[in-house]
Structure 1
């Protein structure tokens, strides 16, 4: 019948593993934050309980005896398995579903084209996107993480800045060739969205010194930024869009910036989650990936 390991032996085996690795009682004491005398006592007690010598002194080093060399790999394996077992109980599981609320425009123009990189790196995390204009309730709507466009103040929730953006007009290259000055906007259709966070054609024209021009322009209002860009890509007008949404389209040459003036929105993109969520490991993995993707985006121009 196998002999049970006592609490004293288990403590001694942990000290033994460190001392065997470092070949020094004093170095082991420093790593374990105890005195050298305490290490010596633990080893001595362990040797007495096992009725064998585990170390022999050679100069300033403590080398393993034959019995110590036999014991060392077994102790290391045992401690590693014990640590692994404890981690299963204390660390949140990484595998499983992660429900994310995100604005439809950001999902379509920024997140979805990149998401394959996350799913390749974390195949065990099942991403479930909920594109919606509505502000998700993380307690009631069973949402684990929200990417919100706001000012970062969400009582009871943890928030972290994801990225900033700017607002400016964009249009197709063919249409851009006809726009030499701001007054030329009278000849085209302005694709607009309801004013939010200070972003509106009225505010952009005021920034350009031509606020009165709005009364003479044709306009179409679209409630979704991605749909507005679809109209512009088809050459049907000029949209006041945000840099995060159009960065790739500008780099690809599918859209142009006809004017340099730009607005700084009052809101920015934030990652928001409940601090007590049981899915912290998944949330941290996804947020870290989001930040890496945001850092890789160069300013649109």
Structure 2
């Protein structure tokens, strides 16, 4: 028999096999594929004959996979998904901008100052940022790629670690002289975002051994970390912020770090995308660039201790 014909028949049979395995029923598979139950049965028999093994056995009203069927199924599903992805990429019109979902504070303080380097390296690929506190719905097509701050477990999505950070107080250089000891924080407003991933003034003060001053401190909670940093840049208090957000401001001397104690948040930054996305090549370009930029950030370092001007 013509080898090409055998391959074509196997591909057709594998699709029917995967659908029947998902339903555990030839009749349900026939309904999904819009063919007769007899046609499904024939396709499965042909595939079994070409492979030289049984893939299903009948159990009650349904069909159950054999050992060989269970072994074949994940490879069949992966192969069919890859083939579908390639066909979609080939046949779809121009993809347009790559939608990148990102937290507003991360976008403003870390991503935007670096994004020009990506546009110079890849002028053919347009990135469209979607700053939002809400998680983008990948299934609804709201994003192609996201930078999320969490534990890295997102159902149905692939996640890749990008970077970790720490949390510590920062202030404007003009306020540095007023902060010789942690107890001096009583004199100034303490700015923070909503407690998230264990980052709070209460936890930082406990870590530094100064939880006793908390009742005497004036705290101001803002809805977004970037808003808190704007207040502190204007000299209106001390912020408990994360290293990723303040690294550039510290290097530029616009903020300083009065105390060395630092919290380790429970969450980290992850890149997240659909494993079956039709834009995996573009996603890979952005992922690799972001990882290079994150590595540069770690190499620069932030120092510790009193780094105030």
Q: Same fold (TM over 0.5)?
A: yes
| Structure 2 gaps, min length 5 | 1-85, 304-309
Please say if residues 89 and 279 of structure 2, whose CA atoms lie closer than 8 Å, have aligned partners that are also in contact.
no
Q: CA deviation at 1:88?
A: 12
TM-score, normalised with respect to structure 2? 0.67
Tell me how large the CA RMSD over aligned residues is.
2.1
CA distance in 1, matches of 2:94, 2:116: 18
Q: What does residue range 212-227 of structure 1 map to in structure 2 within 5 Å?
A: 212-227=212-227
1:55 is matched with: none
| Structure 1 gaps, min length 5 | 1-85
2:283 is matched with: 283
1:164 is matched with: 164
Q: CA deviation at 1:174?
A: 1.1
CA distance in 1, matches of 2:91, 2:257: 48
CA distance in 2, matches of 1:121, 1:188: 45
1:294 is matched with: 294
Q: CA deviation at 1:142?
A: 2.3
Please say if residues 232 and 238 of structure 1, whose CA atoms lie closer than 8 Å, have aligned partners that are also in contact.
yes
1:106 is matched with: 106
1:200 is matched with: 200
Runs of 4+ residues over 3 Å off in structure 1: 86-96
1:44 is matched with: none
Q: CA deviation at 1:236?
A: 0.3
CA distance in 2, matches of 1:89, 1:171: 49
Q: CA deviation at 1:95?
A: 6.7
Q: What does residue range 112-127 of structure 1 map to in structure 2 within 5 Å?
A: 112-127=112-127
Alpha-carbon spacing, 1:189–1:275, altered in 2? closer, same or farther (3 Å) = same
CA distance in 2, matches of 1:196, 1:88: 40
Alpha-carbon spacing, 1:274–1:88, altered in 2? closer, same or farther (3 Å) = closer
Alpha-carbon spacing, 1:96–1:141, altered in 2? closer, same or farther (3 Å) = closer
Output one character per residue of 1:100-138: Cα deviation in whole Å (capped at 9) or x when no partner. Answer: 100000000000010011111111111111100011111
TM-score, normalised with respect to structure 1? 0.68
Please say if residues 92 and 281 of structure 1, whose CA atoms lie closer than 8 Å, have aligned partners that are also in contact.
no
Please say if residues 92 and 279 of structure 1, whose CA atoms lie closer than 8 Å, have aligned partners that are also in contact.
no
SS at match of 1:177: helix
Q: CA deviation at 1:184?
A: 0.1
Please say which structure displays the higher CA radius of gyration: 1
| Alignment: residue pair count | 216
